[in-house]
A = this chain, B = another copy of it.
Amino acid sequence: MYLRCLNELEDHGVRTVSSQALAEQFHLNAAQIRKDLAYFGEFGVRGVGYYVRDLRRHLRQILGLDQKLRVAIMGAGNLGLALADYPGFRQEGFDIIALFDNEPNKIGLHSRSGVPICDIAELKRRARRDGISIAVLAVPAQAAQRVADLVVASGVKAILNFSPGALQVPTDVKVKGVDLTVSLESLSFYLARGESGDT
């Protein structure tokens, strides 16, 4: 979130920012900002605040974004195609190199932004040749574990999982699940509170 804030400030030509100003602009708490950022080092300068460009570079380095990470998307259905063209991934420097699917009539096609759809049988070879670091799972629930096994066998150590349900993977593979329903539930909570007063 801080990185997103700093991106916006740099886009607007802002060179320095205080924790107070960051707090006001982004509806955060100044003390929390100082604490969060201090966790990674001493970035603040007394009387100045933060140098936007430096802090942004530091955060990108901490997040590992200074190296372009190569990402493959498993499943060229609507979700996979949407993710392949999701502008935020590219903006933060992720390189979406391919979609993988097993439907012969999809293989050889491209997403709207030009990401090629490859045969999932090619995954192992492509993962090694192209240095794929992260696999995004966008396949139906019943195929998720099988595809995760293929991803693991191809040597990829990080999985972003959009399919529901837990995956079994070796301990050296990191899985991050994305649950889109949580966001909808938080809106439901907001609406329920509004309708029943201040409970």
Contact = CB atoms under 8 A, between A and B. Distances in A.
Copies of this chain in its oligomeric complex = 2
A185 B133 CA distance: 12
A134 interface: yes
A164 B88 contact: yes
A65 B88 CA distance: 31
Contacts of A188: 63-65, 69, 94, 134
Nearest to A165: B8
Interface string A140-163: 010000000000000001111000
Contacts of A65: 185, 188
Given A62-B192, A91-B181, A176-B183, 20 more contacts: A3-B185, A63-B188, A64-B193, A67-B192, A71-B184, A78-B79, A78-B81, A86-B180, A92-B185, A94-B181, A94-B188, A133-B191, A134-B184, A136-B184, A159-B187, A160-B184, A160-B187, A174-B190, A174-B191, A176-B187
